[in-house]
Structure 1
Amino acid sequence: MLDLFPKEKIILPLPDALFEFYPNFFNKEEANLLWNKLINETPWQQDDITIFGKKIAQPRLTCLFGNEGKPYSYSGLTMQPQLWNPTLIYIKDKVEQVAQQNFTTVLANLYRNEKDSNGWHADNEKELGRNPIIASVSFGEERKFQLKHNLNPEIRMNINLNHGSLLLMKEGSQLHYKHQIPKASQSKNPRINLTFRTIL
């Protein structure tokens, strides 16, 4: 019988917010199948974003999926969603059961190599409401994920987001913390990250 609620849940020891990490949310065999579907089914694109008033090409490929009529904007870019496909609906259903949250949108990110990255930010766009819950699912190469507290620079944490893992960033996570995927000094294979969110 399929276990819908993974046994291993790690609560990150961070104040002012709740972070739940499931390192084996998908087992290796299922994660491999989902990786192959996502890499081949997703119409990846590279958009320009605006950082400190300067327009640059995003250092990764992306694609937005979601409910019709719900665009998503960040860093001067507004993305229109593709319709959900069966692979993403399957992943979304499993994530929603654990998160106890209905998600309307997922931003798919493809980090092609060690040079692709995502700088310090919070997922705090106005479409998401004041205190959003974000679910982050990772497939492919393990990459370092960094967290830092907005007011106390000594509160920081690094997590390795591995193949098949789920990180739930819950209450307080986007109010009190920023996060990033830094460039890596060693060679890295591609990684896909799915960040599920709820547009109000």
Structure 2
Amino acid sequence: MDLFDEPECTPINVIDYDGLVEYHGLLIPAVQANYYFDVLLEKIEWKSDQANIFGKQILTKRKVAWYGDKPFSYTYSNATKLALPWIDELLELKSIVEEKTGASFNSCLLNLYHSGEEGMAWHSDAEKDLLKNGEIGSLSLGAQRKFSFKHKRSQKNVSLLLQHGSLLVMKGETQSHWLHRLPPTKTVNTPRVNLTFRTIDETQFASC
């Protein structure tokens, strides 16, 4: 199933069972989205991500950054990051996403894909550091890219195009039942920045 060229009467329900994924379409006007895209490329402390493949730690071409209310630790792919203090532009974007969704976020994981050759394999955002069944607000800036979901049991696939300035929200039990990925493509040669606003479980953080 593909959800391409949908009308902008949002939100669109992307999956129809075992969770909830809403595509809100264009959240930020193009001029404003261009501004934030350029600022984030320049001001974010981008670093190559680490991934564990067949027991070996490698550095990815994709760059990442982790920001939050506090120096939260966040562990995925057997690597732990400490959150950096927010910059003003990230707080502005967080406020925009929170106003749209009604949710409250305390952290943000950013990804920088330099071209379509860089992507993300199937995974779910269900790390123990995150609030269980908490919302994740995914804001896309830059190149338009295909984004896919796959049900863990039925293997049902759903895909959509994430536009420059658009918002996708994953809710409820989505991470328990669905995988998602950003498939690589040779048809895109410009960069994309993805901001995933998240909620760290502060009760678990405080007990560490």
For the criterion TM > 0.5, the same-fold answer is yes
C-alpha deviation, 1:188, in angstroms:
2.2
Partner of 2:192: 191
Q: How many residues align?
A: 194
Q: Report the TM-score, using the length of structure 2 for normalisation.
A: 0.88
1:98-153 alpha-carbon deviations (Å, 9 max, x no partner)? 22221111011000012211111000000113322111000000011010001101
1:148-193 alpha-carbon deviations (Å, 9 max, x no partner)? 001101x211111110000000112111100000110324200000
Q: Report the TM-score, using the length of structure 1 for normalisation.
A: 0.92
Aligned-partner Cα distance in 1 for 2:167–2:139: 5
Preserved contact between residue 64 and residue 82 of structure 1 (Cα < 8 Å) = yes
Q: Which runs of 5+ in 1 are unaligned?
A: 1-5
Worse overlay, 44-53 or 159-168: 44-53
Preserved contact between residue 132 and residue 174 of structure 1 (Cα < 8 Å) = no
| Structure 1 residue identity aligned to 2:30 | K
Partner of 1:98: 100
Aligned-partner Cα distance in 1 for 2:31–2:199: 29
- Verify: 1:178 aligned to 2:182, yes or no: no
Preserved contact between residue 124 and residue 132 of structure 1 (Cα < 8 Å) = no
Aligned-partner Cα distance in 1 for 2:87–2:16: 35
Partner of 1:16: 18
| Structure 1 residue identity aligned to 2:48 | Q
- Verify: 1:86 aligned to 2:81, yes or no: no
The structure with more strand, counted as a fraction of residues: 2
Preserved contact between residue 108 and residue 193 of structure 1 (Cα < 8 Å) = yes
Preserved contact between residue 105 and residue 197 of structure 2 (Cα < 8 Å) = yes
Preserved contact between residue 15 and residue 158 of structure 2 (Cα < 8 Å) = no
RMSD: 1.5
- Verify: 1:147 aligned to 2:149, yes or no: yes
Preserved contact between residue 59 and residue 118 of structure 1 (Cα < 8 Å) = no
**Alignment match of 2:55 (pick from 53, 56, 72):** 53
Over 4 Å off, 4+ runs: none
**Alignment match of 2:36 (pick from 34, 37, 41):** 34
Aligned-partner Cα distance in 1 for 2:84–2:124: 23
